[in-house]
Amino acid sequence: MDCVFCKIVAGEIPADILYQDEGVIAFRDINPVAPTHLLIIPRKHVPSLAHLSEAGTSLIGDMVKVANQLAKMEGIAEGGYRLVINCGKQGGQLVPHLHIHLLGGRQLSAALG
């Protein structure tokens, strides 16, 4: 599978991994747009939010829980932060493996797109 995030899960390419459990891993974005910019992904290859099965809704819950824990660990929970999921081409998704962006550490733009 030629998927950059699957390669990170498999340890085939390096990443600054901050969290992992049986279902979810989280690492720093290679091209951060904020002082904290982490990616939270499922270990399993799910191409996008649009490909979540019924069972997958609990996967998103697990990912959000990890994002909230990481916001605390990064010291941005009090100041506030943003979770973003881009879905598909017009949604701005470039890597076709489901991921949540966790952004914070500065005042984020009010613009949503």
Residues 31-60 that bind ligand 5GP (CB under 6 A): 31, 39
Among 21-29, 39-47, 57-65, 81-89, the segment contacting Zn ion (CB under 5 A): 39-47
Which residue out of 37, 51, 99, 101 is catalytically annotated? Answer: 99
* Residue 27 binding: pick among ligand 5GP, Zn ion, none (C-beta 5-8 Å cut-off by kind): ligand 5GP
End-to-end CA distance of the chain: 31
**Is 99 noted as a catalytic residue in this protein?**
yes
Q: How far apart are CA 41 and CA 78, in angstroms?
A: 23
Size of the chain in residues: 113
**DSSP code, position 19:** E
